[in-house]
Every structure is written in structure tokens, then in C-alpha cells.
Structure 1
């Protein structure tokens, strides 16, 4: 497999990862500039940073093992939700709860994609049955359901 083929299979994941890096820098600067609720902002930034490695791991696993398009789409939605979560902490803390729960749902979806992708690989490896095309169609359609609040 040449380098162009590798990049073709992961470029959407790379774009979402770079956007998430930019978002991290922005959120850290915003949290540092607010003085009246420093504890709340630091706490919010810390919550975002604690979930960040999990998000990256499951997004990349889902994208590589199954399908990069729905994984990247879920990643973009997660970044938007994460921004809403952070902004909710800057205002009223009750505004951050929907973002937090929605983010957990997206990470669960990506985790499920990882499990299905690995399970499909094991089926192919040991039984010669490849259901990847069917599963990709289902996950592509299911990723649109992430937009439902």
C-alpha cells in the first residue's frame, strides 16, 4: 500500500484531529482569560481534557477498523458538542449538562463502531465472512441519528 492510499483512508480523521487540537488551544486560552469563575472554567477545561484521549482513540479506531466518514462526522459533532459544553460552563453550569450527555452518546457510538469493526475483522480472519460493506452502510446511516438531541 503506497502513501497516497494510506492518506486516502485516513485524511478525514486527520482533519478532525487537527481541528480538535485547535479547539484545545482556544478553550485553554478562554478558560485562562475569565476571572470571575476561574474554578468553574478550570474544572470545565479539565473535564474536556480528561475525555480528549478517549475521544481520539475511539474515533481513530472506528475510522481505521470500520469507516472513516461516519467516524469523522461523529468527531465533528463531538467537537461542536464539546464547545457547547465548555461555553455552558462559562454561563450557567446547568447549560453544560446536555453537551456532556450528548458527548457521552457520541463516544458510545464511536466505541460501538470500534467493536463492530474489530468483530468484522475477526469474522473475516477466522471464518472468511466479510460484512464490512453492510456494516459501513448501516453506520453511515446511523451517524445521521447523532444529530437528534
Structure 2
């Protein structure tokens, strides 16, 4: 049991933080709904931002967990934390004007692309290791660990 927990605890922490973030977003929508009438522009923006975040949430969770389990949990969890920050920036930007949310949206797409690439590399390494006779997981972990730092470049 300890071996399994040792390899997923970072992913679990990011998952719990993302759940708390979803609760925060839902409370913002509820607060906006209770303060004003439901069809104000502010409510529509907050509601739309929440829907957009909820729509991408399953994709984010799937690729983060796949990348963490198939390749390395540390870069996947790091990318997950950055994604949550970017998603928060997107949500807050959408509450102002929709054009303020564009940088968060584009940066989030880049992080999801990195996680998808990590998934594909991990799966290909696992599937091709019987044919090549060696496992390149250690090299790939080093590369993805270094590449995850590049996510910080805007």
C-alpha cells in the first residue's frame, strides 16, 4: 500500500486543491446569483466562466493522472498546480471582461498539451519496451522534469 501512495500523493494533493477551487467557483456563482437578479451581465459572465472551467475539468484530471501514472508524478503535479493557477486567472479575468481571460485560456491549452505529450510518451515507452529490450523511463523522467520548468515561460 505504501508503494502505491508514494507514487500518487502529489497527484492526490493537486486533485484536492482542484476540488476546493471548483467549490470556490461555485460559491462565486451562487453569491452573484443571490446578490442580484439572475440575468445581469455580471452573473452571465461568472456563470459562463464557471461552465467553461467545468467543461475542461475532466480533460485536465484525466491527462494529469495519466501523465503522473505513466511517466512521472512530479512534473505532472507541477503542471497541474500551474494549470490551477491559470484556470483561476481565467475565471477572474472572465469576471471583468472576456478579453482579459484570453491569456489564461491560451496558457491553459499549452499546459494541457504538455500533459497530453507526457501521457503519450509514457504509454509509448511502456508499449515499446518489450520490442527494444530496455526501458527509457529514467531518461524520459529527466527530460520531462526539465521541460516542466519551461511551462513557466509566458
Question: TM-score band (shorter)?
Answer: over 0.9
TM-score normalized by structure 2?
0.93
**Aligned residue runs from structure 1 range 9-88, under 5 A:** 9-34=7-32, 35=36, 36=40, 37-88=42-93
2:96 is aligned with 1:98: no
Segments of 4+ in structure 1 off by > 6 A?
A: none
2:134 is aligned with 1:129: yes
RMSD: 0.9
Q: Report what 2:5 is aligned to.
A: 7
Q: String of CA shifts for 1:6-55, please: whole Å, max 9, x gaps.
A: 00000000000000000000011112222441111111100000000000
Larger Rg: 2
Q: String of CA shifts for 1:58-115, please: whole Å, max 9, x gaps.
A: 0000000000000000000000000000000111211100000100100000000000
In structure 2, list runs of 5 or more residues that go unmatched. Answer: none
Count how many residue pairs are aligned between Structure 1 and Structure 2: 147
Q: Distance in 2 between matches of 1:114 and 1:31?
A: 33
TM-score normalized by structure 1?
0.96
In structure 1, list runs of 5 or more residues that go unmatched. Answer: none
Q: Distance in 1 between matches of 2:102 and 2:128?
A: 39
